A = this chain, B = another copy of it.
Amino acid sequence: MNNILCIYSRFWLRHLVFMGAGAMGEIKHLVVVKFKEGVVVEEIIKGMEKLVSEVDLVKSFEWGQDSEGHEMLTQGFTHSFAMTFDKKEDYAAFQSHPNHVEYSATFSAAIEKIVVLCFPCVLVKPTG
Q: Which residues of A contact B (CB under 8 A)?
A: 23, 28, 30, 32, 49, 52-53, 58-68, 70, 73-75, 77-80, 82, 84, 114-128
Contacts and interface: CB of A to CB of B under 8 A. Distances in A.
A65 B32 contact: no
A119 B61 CA distance: 15
Nearest to A75: B115
A87 B79 CA distance: 19
Nearest to A127: B60
Contacts of A70: 116
Q: Which of A23, A63, A80 gathers the greatest number of chain B CB atoms within 10 Å?
A: A80
Describe A's contact surface by its main secondary structure: strand
Copies in the complex: 2
B125 A66 contact: no
7 contacts: A28-B80, A61-B123, A63-B124, A64-B119, A64-B121, A64-B122, A73-B116
Given A124-B49, A124-B63, A117 B58 contact: no
Given A80-B30, A127-B60, A115 B73 contact: yes
Nearest to A68: B118
